[in-house]
Amino acid sequence: MREQSPFTIVIVCTGNVCRSPLAEQLLRARLDAAGVPAVVTSAGVDPGQGLAMPPEVVAQSIRYGGDPVGHLPRALDASVLREADLVLTATRGHRGDVARALPRASRYTFTIAQFARLLDGVAADLDTVASPWDLVDEAAAERGAAAPPEDPTVDDIEDPYRREAEVYDRVGERIAGLVDVIAARIIASARPGSTDQAGAAR
């Protein structure tokens, strides 16, 4: 049990220099501003040695309210996943990477876009969602009940690395929008009296 632990989120992409750090920094900023005691980190399935966030992503993080200072890419492994209460990935492929690294993490792993989409099906009044852990459980139940999208690629976020400026802009805007949806629901679920209670042991 983790009754005394903060809600922990890990965000995953390939190199941990574009999509996952941007989502990490924006989500952390929004939860911090709301006073939600959460730990938000990120990792990559194939982080490049010595790589840094591209200047385009640094600028986007600042523009959308994040703090990119000090980010260093790190590798995804089972030890990172064991600490997580929610894993969000850039693509379905990364979701599969998480499942291979730690099979039991599959039940609390979603793509970023998938999790935001599934939250639409969770009770809007959050009567049955008394904590962020409950929110993850409800989203997982919704995943089992809801029909998949006609185009499964809508649950993926494209990789902008070393591509044109308009791709960076498009990806950054999409990540910021998805993070806003997710942050709002986590903040709503972490109402007073709920954030000191954890979900079931992972």
Catalytic site positions: 13, 19, 125
φ, ψ of residue 87 to 5 degrees: the values are -115, 125
Task: Choose among 110, 187, 181: nearest CA to 141.
Answer: 110
Q: Are 98 and 88 in contact (CB under 8 A)?
A: no
DSSP state of 122: S
Q: Are 88 and 105 in contact (CB under 8 A)?
A: no
Measured distance CA(166)–CA(151) in Å, rounded: 23
The structure tokens listed for 26 are: 């924006």
- Strand-strand pairing, 7-13 and 38-44: parallel
Q: Are 95 and 111 in contact (CB under 8 A)?
A: yes
Measured distance CA(93)–CA(29) in Å, rounded: 27
Strands (E) located in the chain: 7-13, 38-44, 86-89, 109-111
The structure tokens listed for 192 are: 């007073």
